A and B are shown apart, each in its own frame.
Chain A
Amino acid sequence: MSASYDITVVGAGHAGCEAALAAARMGCSVLLVTLNGDKVAAMSCNPAIGGIGKGHIVREIDALGGQMAQVIDRTGIQFRLLNRRKGPAVRGPRAQADKASYSRRFKQVIESQQRLDLVQDEVLELLVSAGHVEGVRCLFRGEIATRSVIIAAGTFLAGMMHIGTDSFAGGRLGDPSSSELSRSLKRLGFELLRLKTGTPPRLDGRTIDFAKLTPQSGDEPPPKFSFVIPECNGNKVNCYLAKTTPKCHQIIRENLERSALFSGKITGIGIRYCPSIEDKIKKFPHRESHHIFIEPEGLATDECYANGFATSLPYDVQIAMLRAVPGLEEVKITRPGYAIEYDFIQPTNLHPWLETRRIAGLFLAGQINGTSGYEEAAGQGLIAGINAALKVRGDKPFVISRRESYIGVMIDDLVTFGCKEPYRMFTARSEHRLLLSADTADERLMGYGRQFGLISDEAYDSMMDRRRARAREMHALKRAHPKGQHAEFAGASLLELLRRPEVRYADLTDRFGFESNLSLADRDILEMQVKYEGYITREEKKLAGAAKLDKIRIPEGTDFQRVPGLRAEIRERLAESRPATLGAARRIPGMTPAALSVLSIHIAGRGSRGGTSKADELVPVVRRPPISAG
Chain B
Amino acid sequence: MLTEDNDTIAAISTAPGVGAIGLVRLSGPDSIAIADRVFVGSKRPSEMEHSRVQFGRVVRDGAVLDEVMLTVLRSPQSYTGEDVVEISCHGNPLILRDVLSAVIDAGARLATGGEFTRRAFLRGKMDLCQAEAVMELLSAQTEEAKRVALSQVRGRTSQEVARLREQVIRAKVELDASIDFPDDVSDEALMGSDTARGGSSVKLLLDTARELDAMISAFAASQQAQRLPTAAIVGKVNVGKSTLLNALLAEDRVITSESAGTTRDRIDADLALSSGRRVRLSDTAGLVVPRDELDVKARVKMEEAVRSADFLIMVFDASSPLEDEDAQLVKTWGAGPAVLVLNKIDLGERWDPSVLVGKCGDLSQAPVVRTCAISGLGMDELDGALDKLLCAVTPEVPSEACVVGTMRNERLLQRARDAINAALAASHTGSWPEFASSDLAEALGAFNEFLGIDVGVDILDEIFSRFCIGK
Contacts and interface: CB of A to CB of B under 8 A. Distances in A.
Nearest to B188: A85
A459 B459 CA distance: 38
B197 to A, nearest CB: 16
Given A46-B471, A89-B434, A428-B180, A593 B112 contact: yes
Interface string B108-137: 000011110110011000001001110110
Nearest to B442: A538
B183 interface: yes
B431 interface: yes
B1 interface: yes
A271 B470 CA distance: 10
B133 to A, nearest CB: 8
A564 B130 CA distance: 12
A384 to B, nearest CB: 25
B182 A83 contact: yes
A172 interface: no
A594 B138 contact: yes
B464 A604 contact: no
B214 interface: no
A483 to B, nearest CB: 25
A597 B122 CA distance: 11
B112 A539 contact: no
B139 interface: yes
Contact of B139 (A83, A272, A433, A595): A595
A280 B434 contact: no
A549 B2 contact: yes
B336 interface: no
A326 interface: no
A105 to B, nearest CB: 25
A434 B434 contact: yes
B289 interface: no
A564 B132 contact: yes
B432 interface: yes
A103 B241 CA distance: 83
A601 B3 contact: no
Interface string B422-454: 000000011111110110011000000000001
Contact of A565 (B128, B136, B468): B136
Interface stretch (A251-259, A286-294, A611-619): A286-294
B56 to A, nearest CB: 34
Interface in B398-442: 429-435, 437-438, 441-442
Given A426-B460, A590-B454, A600 B118 contact: yes
Interface residues of A, number: 66
Nearest to A426: B180
A594 B182 contact: no
B176 interface: yes
A87 B435 contact: yes
Nearest to B182: A83
A465 B201 CA distance: 43
Contacts of A532: 435
A272 to B, nearest CB: 4
A545 B121 contact: no
Contacts of A272: 464, 469-470
Contacts of A429: 460
A346 interface: no
A594 B179 contact: no
Given A90-B434, A594-B114, A594-B138, A308 B471 contact: yes
Contact of A591 (B179, B433, B434, B454): B454
Contacts of A83: 179, 182
B118 A291 contact: no
Contacts of A393: none
B456 interface: yes
B179 A90 contact: yes
A290 B182 contact: no
A590 B133 CA distance: 23
A596 B114 CA distance: 11
Contacts of B133: 564
B432 A87 contact: yes
B20 interface: no
Interface in A596-613: 596-598, 600-602, 604-605, 608-609
A458 B441 CA distance: 40
Contacts of A597: 2, 112-115, 118, 135, 138-139
Contact of A594 (B4, B142, B437): B142
A539 B437 CA distance: 12
A589 interface: yes
Nearest to A86: B432
A597 B132 CA distance: 10
A593 B113 contact: yes
Given A539-B438, A545-B1, A565 B132 contact: yes
A75 interface: no
A596 B2 contact: yes
B3 A549 contact: yes
A4 B1 CA distance: 52
A82 interface: yes
Given A280-B468, A591-B454, A593-B2, A428 B460 contact: yes
Interface in A580-598: 582, 587, 589-598
B1 A427 contact: no
Contact of B182 (A52, A595, A596): A52
Nearest to A602: B132
A592 B133 CA distance: 18
B455 interface: yes
A564 B129 CA distance: 10
Nearest to B141: A594
B463 interface: yes
A87 B432 CA distance: 5
A89 B179 CA distance: 10
A535 B438 contact: yes
Contacts of B434: 86-87, 89-90, 427, 433-434
B4 A545 contact: yes
Contact of B135 (A52, A545, A601): A601
A270 B311 CA distance: 55
Contacts of A283: 468
A25 B423 CA distance: 47
Interface-central residue, A544, A566, A592, A600, by most chain B CB under 10 Å: A592
Nearest to B468: A284
B131 to A, nearest CB: 5
A502 B442 CA distance: 24
A274 B470 contact: yes
A275 interface: yes
A548 B180 CA distance: 29
Interface in A246-303: 271-275, 280, 283-284, 287, 290-291, 293
Given A308-B471, A433-B438, A501-B430, A546 B179 contact: no
Contacts of B454: 590-593
A426 B463 CA distance: 12
A501 B436 CA distance: 13
Interface in B168-191: 176, 179-184, 187
6 closest A-B pairs by beta carbon, nearest first, are A545-B3, A605-B128, A87-B432, A565-B136, A501-B430, A501-B429
5 contacts: A273-B460, A275-B468, A565-B140, A597-B113, A600-B118
Given A549-B2, A597-B115, 5 more contacts: A271-B470, A274-B471, A275-B469, A427-B179, A590-B454
Interface of B: 1-4, 112-115, 117-118, 121-122, 128, 131-133, 135-136, 138-140, 142-143, 176, 179-184, 187, 429-435, 437-438, 441-442, 454-456, 459-460, 463-464, 468-471
